[in-house]
Chains A and B, each alone.
Chain A
Amino acid sequence: MSTKVLEAIHINKYFHTEQTQHVLKDITFSINTGDFTAVIGKSGCGKSTLLYILSTMDTDYEGDLLIDGQAMRMKSELELARVRNEKIGFVFQFHYLLNEFSVLRNVMVPGLKLGKYPEKELEHRAMEKLKIFGIENQALKKPNQLSGGEKQRVAIARALINDPILIMGDEPTGNLDKKNGEIVFDLFKKLASEYHQTLLIVTHDQEFAKATDRIIEMEDGRILTS
């Protein structure tokens, strides 16, 4: 009895540079609660582009996108920001932590924005997330005092702070060495198995992809298998 967290219906995307490029071709698929999905495909096949659309940051596409059953098409910029804040967590290749704030505060920022919990409680929750990744003792450091792998773990903790229905990752280990990459992979697996977190992760790593419940393979803007 799983429900659809995300549904893409006939999504097409074009880039209009010197000549028009059809980057995404009729993408239709859906993701259910608890799914741990990997997206693979050759470089330039449109994985990132698709993820930006699914995350509601890119609104320049054809077709429909449903998140938690709601159509994103007609929503205003303000409403989309709210959807991202509340329902989606995003992990990029780069960590994008704010160096002016402590690690703990970085994790809290999206939660403070949502304003669902009082600050004290939010702080406690942020600490819990950091504990999952074993970096709670780094909470009061500034991000630039952390190692690359630690930063990426903080970024994942930040993505989790509002208990999103879906976490998306665009090559979240792309910038890490093998060892750190494996640590982060293991953490995603832990999130999926222990916390039943719905995950949609773009990756180049076959090993990692095999460990997921489901693989979506893309080629030249199309979904081959899913």
Chain B
Amino acid sequence: MKRFKLLYDIALALSLARWRQTMVAAVGVMFSITMFIALLGFMNGLNDMLDGLILNRTPHIKLFNEIKPSVHQPVQLASEFKDHFNVIRSVKPNGGRLEIYNVNAITQTISKDERVLGIAPKITVQAFYSIGAIEVTGVIDGIDVEAESNLFHFSDYVTTGNFMDLKNIPNSIIMGKAAADKMLAEIGDVIQVTTVNGEQQQLKVVGFFQSGLRDVDKVQSYTSLGTAQKLLGVSRNYITDLQIKLKDLSLAPAMAKEYRNLFDVDAEDIQTANAQFETGSSVRSLISYAVGITLLIVAGFGIYNILNMMIYEKMDSIAILKATGFSGSDVKRIFIMIALSIGILGAFFGLLFGYLASVFIDQIPFNSAAIPNMKTYPVNYSLKFYIIGAAFGIITTYLAGWFPARKAGKIDPVIIIRGK
């Protein structure tokens, strides 16, 4: 420890003798870590926002019944054709029931599953909005208002009106803003919808809904489960989708498979449904890491230069240290200490200024009609970026210092002294 202090004193004296260059090198590290933190915070803020736009509202697993031809055709069940190679053309689906059978039993089983955060039933109704004589296609989802809001942030996207009215006011509807604009519908108006079966129904507009994706808002509307069942003229057990939210999103593919076999329904996991979003996020992260690390490497060269210069200028000092009993590794340690001090100092201020830059970005107003509940630029303050930034900063400076330090350690004092 005492020896360490002596080496540190010498390192400090050497860097103070060249404090301007030392400062420049430290500022280089600081700048790159500041950029790294600000960039990653901002990029990941955007990622979270964009992911939120889709993923927050997407169930981790969706159970439903798809209309498709039966996998087992009758001819395969017949014993006399069992050993034959059967070619069947033009297979058509039959039935066409979208309803999930035994929905209550399934709901109960899933609710008991430890891995599940919550479950929200949904009925999808194909319908037409009637505007005078014109009819516009639309999709009306019957939802359990509370579950939908708790699990999928439904209330965040209801920009006008109170989302609970959907539950409390019978025959009410919350319309997509774009669809409502097209129909010139105001809150309190009564609109007419027609289902594909020809049923007509008057619904009262209690709110507007903005998803951030205009194409969705043009067609999508919401009613309560009961209203949707009434629209279709079906019983209270009729449910077309069960939307499941998990505690751990990464389990979705495996659990979807499990439920598919267990309940004999179709199950789709979020990863399969939204693969492209994850790609987008990871590419954005990758770019920020690449930029940050490039900056750090540039800063590393700065440190490399200053140390080389210092060693060149301090040959005499290195020679006398060695002549008076400092070993090569002592000398090497001195220069690595200088590099690390620059790195630690730069990293500390880099993290600080990176945080301040993030706070600053967080204050910049950002208004988008598409994302109603966002007022300023999004920033992610994850501790992870700070740890990675600091670690990379210190590792880079260590490596940048290592080569010059090794060179200093190998200096032969005889050559220096003879040269005088």
Q: Which residues of A contact B (CB under 8 A)?
A: 48, 52, 55, 57-58, 77-78, 81-86, 90, 92-94, 96-101, 109-110, 112-115, 158
Contact = CB atoms under 8 A, between A and B. Distances in A.
Contact of B6 (A86, A97, A98, A113): A113
B323 interface: yes
14 contacts: A57-B412, A78-B327, A78-B329, A81-B326, A81-B327, A82-B327, A84-B323, A84-B324, A92-B420, A100-B14, A101-B13, A112-B6, A113-B325, A115-B3
Interface of B: 2-3, 6, 10, 13-14, 16-17, 316-317, 319-330, 412-414, 417-418, 420
Contacts of B328: 77, 81
A92 B417 contact: yes
B302 to A, nearest CB: 22
A92 B325 CA distance: 15
A99 B324 contact: no
Q: Which 5 A-B pairs have the closest CB atoms?
A: A85-B325, A100-B13, A96-B320, A81-B327, A110-B324
Contacts of B13: 98, 100-101
Contacts of A84: 323-325
A90 B322 CA distance: 11
Contacts of B413: 57
Given A81-B326, A84-B324, A86-B325, A93 B17 contact: no
Nearest to B320: A96
B420 A158 contact: no
Contacts of B324: 84-85, 90, 109-110, 113, 158
A60 to B, nearest CB: 9
A97 B14 CA distance: 13
B414 A98 contact: no
Given A57-B322, A83-B325, 7 more contacts: A84-B325, A94-B417, A96-B319, A109-B10, A109-B321, A115-B2, A158-B324
B317 A98 contact: yes
A84 B322 CA distance: 9
A57 B414 contact: yes
Contacts of A77: 327-328
Nearest to A161: B324
A81 B322 contact: yes
A82 B420 contact: no
Contact of B323 (A90, A112, A114, A115): A90
A58 B14 contact: no
Contacts of B10: 98, 109
A97 B10 CA distance: 13
Nearest to B316: A96
A83 B325 CA distance: 7
A90 B2 CA distance: 24
A110 to B, nearest CB: 4
Nearest to B420: A94
B21 to A, nearest CB: 15
A17 to B, nearest CB: 14
A84 B325 CA distance: 5
Nearest to B410: A77
**Which of B14, B330, B414 has the most A CB atoms < 10 Å from its CB?**
B414
Contacts of A110: 324-325
B96 to A, nearest CB: 86
Contacts of A97: 320
B213 to A, nearest CB: 65
A100 B313 CA distance: 13
Which of A48, A78, A81 is packed against the most chain B CB atoms within 10 Å?
A: A81
A114 B324 CA distance: 10
Contacts of A113: 3, 6, 324-326, 330
B15 to A, nearest CB: 10
Contact of A98 (B3, B16, B320, B327): B320
A92 B323 CA distance: 10
Which of B10, B328, B330 has the most chain A CB within a 10 Å cutoff?
B10
Contacts of A82: 325, 327
